Amino acid sequence: MKVRNKVIVVTGGGSGIGRELVLNLLVRGASVAAVDINKAALEKVVELSGDRKDRLTTHAANITDKEAVKALPREIISQHGVVDGIINDAGIIQPFVRLRDLDYEAIERVMDVNYYGTLYMTKAFLPQLLTRPEAHIANISSMGGFLPVPGQTVYGASKAAVKLLTEGLSLELLNTNVRVTVVFPGAINTNIAANSGVNISQQMENARGLIKMLSPSRAAQIILDGIEQNRYRILVGSDATFMDIICRLCPRHAARFIYTRMKMLLQE
């Protein structure tokens, strides 16, 4: 689906990949409803949008609140008239600890934001999308959704759930006007740790410096190019592309490969 002259909803639109998706969509001629829990971050997006801000609305909402999400379609349609697509980008990571040391509050928070937030948004907007001549749903999973990462077991489980949710939905909508895409970003240079409330140790900062990361703006460009091509799945970054191949050829080897390179991230 070409995004020009379409109305697209983007969650996590206040920072990171989400913010770059919003700005890139505006450049491509779309109108955008940016959703984020952080009102100040949304105000910054308006500032960055410059003379395109007349095609941008912002909506401060907690996507883990089912009732708040149910109210979003009416709110956004009242301002834009229609909705042609949604990009579910909002997500958080867990503290870099083993499952045995991860408390239930952190587990539930990760699942609520990453999985249930995506599910609530999809269900809330799907009836509207089905009325459009063409429409699109893109859900952001993660390389961690098909590849286990030490210290991110629950995060990976949440993103694997997003993967299968999206792939199942794609089958259900085969004979409709709604196309569905699942996205697998690799290492992207965002502030997801800080936005997730996860403390980063100096050791972890040093490890980050050894990993080649893609910029959020480049990630957004790859994602939107894929959406406009109605791609079934989008791999974002050479690391995601490489590990996808390795995982298909030898899953156990791929898992051990990533463990040897990322085990230093585990907080003891």
Give the catalytic positions in this structure: 155
Separation of alpha carbons 37 and 11, rounded Å: 9
Separation of alpha carbons 63 and 165, rounded Å: 17
Separation of alpha carbons 13 and 23, rounded Å: 9
Chain centre distance of CA 52: 23
Look up residue 32 and give its two tokens: 């955008």
Residue at 181: amino acid letter: T
Whether residue 84 contacts residue 126, with contact meaning beta carbons closer than 8 Å, is answered with no
For residue 168, give every residue at least 6 positions away whose Cβ sits within 8 Å of its Cβ, in sequence order, or none.
none
Separation of alpha carbons 18 and 8, rounded Å: 12
For residue 137, give every residue at least 6 positions away whose Cβ sits within 8 Å of its Cβ, in sequence order, or none.
85, 86, 88, 122, 125, 126, 129, 166, 169, 178, 179, 180, 181
Find the helix or strand (DSSP H, E) in which 220 lies.
Answer: helix 216-228
Q: E-assigned strands of 61-189?
A: 85-88, 135-140, 178-185
Whether residue 165 contacts residue 183, with contact meaning beta carbons closer than 8 Å, is answered with no
Edge-first strand listing for the sheet containing 56-60: 56-60, 31-36, 7-11, 85-88, 135-140, 178-185, 233-236
